[in-house]
Structure 1
Amino acid sequence: MLYEMRTYRLKTGTVPAYVKLVAEEGIALQKSHLGQLVGYFTSDIGPLNEIVHIWAYASLDDRAARRARLNADPAWLAFLPKIQALIETMENKILLPTAFSPLN
């Protein structure tokens, strides 16, 4: 099992609009293709205007196949410009759990 942590820095003041769009349209599309959502968060202390979401995958190949299916979905492609207009920067990390991690 591996985890993908995606962090988006949004334009100041756009977190509510981003969260509303994802809740109403995006998350169902993502879940239908990406599978296991570990968590979806907003920042409150530290760097502000950030969204962090974490997804679990069986392997890098599983992740690549699932993301390819999402990126081929016409509904996702129509949705993307709505949130891309709110995003300033994006960071992506692949996290591997340690043997003693509760998410192993």
Structure 2
Amino acid sequence: MFVEICTYHCLPNRLPALLARFENATLALFAKHGFKPLGFFVSEFGPNRPELKYLLEWRSLDQRMAAWTAFRADPEWERARLESEADGQLVDVMSNEILVPTRFSPIR
């Protein structure tokens, strides 16, 4: 099992539009392409606000690559992205990390 943590640092005043895109389009596309979200979070405190962070569970790195490849190639994703960015770009920096649970982690 692998956990991917994705971080999107939003441009000023663009977090509401990013959250709306997730609620109205991205979550359905995640389900369509076999993503398993573990949680979504907004940074309340910290130096990089506003940020959206979310966790995805993967059985394997091959599964992850196949899912992300299919997601990015999906015309529905391209439409949703373009519509949500009609008033301008939402995110200026994106990053992700792949985490492997320790033997003693409650999430395994």
What TM-score, normalized by structure 2, do the two folds share? Answer: 0.88
Report the structure, 1 or 2, having the larger helix content: 1
Structure 1 segments (4+ residues) deviating >3 Å: none
Contact 2:6–2:97 under 8 Å retained in 1: yes
Aligned AA for 1:38?
A: L
Deviation at 1:35, TM superposition (A): 2.3
CA-to-partner distance for each residue in 1:22-77, whole Å, 9 max, x for gaps? 11122111222142101111110112110001100011111011111112211012
Q: Map of 1:1-104 to 2, 5 A cutoff?
A: 1-46=1-46, 47-81=48-82, 82=84, 85-104=89-108
- SS where residue 107 of structure 2 aligns? coil
Deviation at 1:95, TM superposition (A): 0.5
Distance 1:34 1:10 in 2: 26
Aligned AA for 1:60?
A: L
Deviation at 1:80, TM superposition (A): 2.4
Moved more, 13-22 or 91-100: 13-22
Distance 2:81 2:104 in 1: 37
Aligned AA for 1:86?
A: L
Aligned AA for 2:97?
A: K
- The number of residue pairs the alignment matches comes to 104
- SS where residue 64 of structure 2 aligns? helix
Distance 1:3 1:66 in 2: 14
CA RMSD of aligned residues (A): 1.5
- Structure 2 unmatched ranges of 5 or more: none
Identity %: 32
